[in-house]
Structure 1
């Protein structure tokens, strides 16, 4: 009996050993299989390169922030369709993370803190020069204080000239024309308009609005000293619901043209008030071709409302038309029809700079961005190293009905589009800079 028990015990031990060995072999095989490309559908994905957008996604100007988000996303998707950005360890996709600043400076600085806490290397913002100036100052301090977590700021719409003059920064790049550059081409058009005699200035009461008024006065005094400035009003940004009192002043002063840098609802409500008052005058605008303005102006704007931009849907050419058509296919809702070429240029130039630098480190990408050129079949731009201002062509376009000569596309399904009136080569848009930049 004792012999039988010992034999059974040895047999049980052998069986247990055999079982454990088979389990170990099976587990090893399973783990190895799980690590093969065939098991997980390809090589392990590399971490994305994150871009943090700080802009208004709620409140009075949420439509402007949402338009930016759409433009950035389609540009990012184009880069990712090529596999992303190439770095020494492989290709990384771009990812957009959005932070709602409610168009406030304090909220923007809080968003920047969240962004840097997450080690997001690239910040994009534009819909407020006041916010942009605060971000430049905060980023300068952050990058000096935390050199192992530095960030770069890419500005798509904040056009206060100081950002690339006395407040220029190595960590800031602007992809829109400055207010002075935009005003320069607008006043070139006004200079050649013999019927322009009395100009009314109206704008939003913050750094950008005040700069637009200063630029208009200075440039008109130089180019057309015979023109009278018959009014100059600043109003609270995003607070005015009825512009009828302002329009009454414009009418009472006998103005035959208005210059305004207003954007978003402040622009569309202004031009709608002028329409409702039955006024017949020209509007020279920075942003008259977007976010509800054409529909609000309607027939009263035909041949009268002008806008300045680096591109517009009716700029012309097969490639330009294809670019716009691709955007409309992606975002077919007429309310989403607000396309910024400069945001596509910004993302493409960022991707190229990352690849040239072979890094996402801020100083390395900044060095790669300086002097960089963007060129496609219908646009050519250069990032000026002296002040980090993008130098690019500008169009002044005039509002017309869709279907008129040169107006194939309308804005936001309104039945109204814009036709090129004057084209300014990049060499004609560049202005001197007073930037004295400290480089890394």
Structure 2
């Protein structure tokens, strides 16, 4: 039986233990208070796994750079496999929120982005204490920052209409062009690209005929030879396509194999196997629009590219996008200025006014629709060593010479967004 003094000592020990546990919890909370959890939701398996892994390298590198600076906000990146399916992406979203993520990152597929926007809008209304932001680096279907704009969604890539307008700067001067073949993936983005291409061609090159327009299943076509045969038989001098990933690589391979000798005006022809697939057949014929290209002729641009290649030296890992770096820089800047990692409304309001520069590339967020505004460039595929082509792509021996630079003020387009904002 314990004496009164023994009981008192035991009570004091228990109290000290509880206080210690409490202080440890407070210390852990204080440490965690400076951590902003990011969830990358992408195809990390399946037919588009290469695109997801390529994005992961970019985002991870950007997070490493921000954290190495030692600011008051630390970024923590977690990855979730959507397997290229919208339902899987929505499951990943729920898991990420349960794991404490406050920022969702996604971009490869406008259909998935659309599903995430709807789900996040509903979640944020239903659970205001667990609100999340959605940062989009590649889903470029125009309505996402127009009639379907959301306070919780920020797009850091130029949307499809902006990219088509940049390509039109080159198409206007392509006097040999008499007929084009439009082909794309059969979902909202692919449909938007073909629709906008027709409209801008009619307005700016009414002399050019659209000889055919075709949509194909996304990620399910293994043999593009039948499409390539039709492209060649149409007599078109050029193809306009928004295809990406394997759907682009297999298309250009098939076109080469059937002897198609025309140009490809692309959104993504500068990476993920497309240059190697075309080989010499693509020299002077494959044109791509981007926010940045490795052969932009500035010292800052070269330093940026060399820094990435130092971090990821394998040729097959050569897939770097400036906009993804600017996106993470913008998020870090907004969180620092908002002085919070948990109040996403405060972070969003700072993101609306963000203006960032990295290695000479500048971008700003337009608050009206959350569409990032930045310079765009158009490049022509050439052999490495050609004037203007210092760097090749993925060790292929082919790179992209910058043939057009479009300043942000010219690339900017009006918006129909009527954004509902939280009180």
Q: Same fold (TM over 0.5)?
A: yes
1:170-185 equivalences under 5 Å are: 170-185=151-166
2:303–2:359 Cα contact (<8 Å) kept: no
1:32-431 equivalences under 5 Å are: 48-83=35-70, 85-86=71-72, 92-360=73-341, 361-431=343-413
2:82–2:89 Cα contact (<8 Å) kept: yes
Unaligned runs of 5+ in 2: 1-5, 25-29
Task: Specify the structure having the higher radius of gyration (Cα).
Answer: 1
C-alpha displacement of 1:378: 2.2
User: In structure 1, what is the Cα distance between the partners aligned to 2:293 and 2:94?
Assistant: 35
User: In structure 1, what is the Cα distance between the partners aligned to 2:283 and 2:117?
Assistant: 40
User: In structure 2, what is the Cα distance between the partners aligned to 1:408 and 1:305?
Assistant: 17
C-alpha displacement of 1:241: 1.1
> Mean Cα displacement is larger for which, 300-309 or 377-386?
377-386
- Secondary structure at the aligned position of 1:57 is classed as coil
Cα RMSD of the aligned pairs, angstroms, is: 2.0
- Secondary structure at the aligned position of 2:327 is classed as helix
Partner of 1:433: 415
C-alpha displacement of 1:47: 5.8
User: In structure 2, what is the Cα distance between the partners aligned to 1:120 and 1:96?
Assistant: 9
User: In structure 1, what is the Cα distance between the partners aligned to 2:129 and 2:32?
Assistant: 24
User: In structure 2, what is the Cα distance between the partners aligned to 1:93 and 1:373?
Assistant: 20
Query: For residues 8-39 of structure 1, what are the alpha-carbon distances to aligned partners after superposition, in whole Å with 9 as ceiling and x for unaligned?
Result: xxxxxxxxx9xx9xxx9xx99xx9xxx9xxxx
User: In structure 1, what is the Cα distance between the partners aligned to 2:283 and 2:233?
Assistant: 23
- Secondary structure at the aligned position of 1:59 is classed as coil
C-alpha displacement of 1:376: 3.4
> Mean Cα displacement is larger for which, 234-243 or 154-163?
234-243
Query: For residues 32-64 of structure 1, what are the alpha-carbon distances to aligned partners after superposition, in whole Å with 9 as ceiling and x for unaligned?
Result: xxx9xxxxxxx9786632100111000000000
Runs (4+) of structure 1 exceeding 4 A deviation are: 43-47
User: In structure 2, what is the Cα distance between the partners aligned to 1:321 and 1:414?
Assistant: 19
> Mean Cα displacement is larger for which, 256-265 or 355-364?
355-364
Q: How does the TM-score come out when normalised to structure 2? A: 0.92
> Mean Cα displacement is larger for which, 184-193 or 206-215?
184-193
- Secondary structure at the aligned position of 1:398 is classed as strand
- Secondary structure at the aligned position of 1:131 is classed as helix
C-alpha displacement of 1:371: 2.4
Return closer, same or farther for 1:368/1:317 CA change in 2, 3 Å cut-off.
Answer: same
User: In structure 2, what is the Cα distance between the partners aligned to 1:212 and 1:275?
Assistant: 23
User: In structure 2, what is the Cα distance between the partners aligned to 1:377 and 1:65?
Assistant: 25
User: In structure 1, what is the Cα distance between the partners aligned to 2:36 and 2:421?
Assistant: 24
User: In structure 2, what is the Cα distance between the partners aligned to 1:223 and 1:394?
Assistant: 19
State how many pairs are aligned: 401
2:194–2:213 Cα contact (<8 Å) kept: yes
Q: How does the TM-score come out when normalised to structure 1? A: 0.88
User: In structure 1, what is the Cα distance between the partners aligned to 2:292 and 2:397?
Assistant: 19
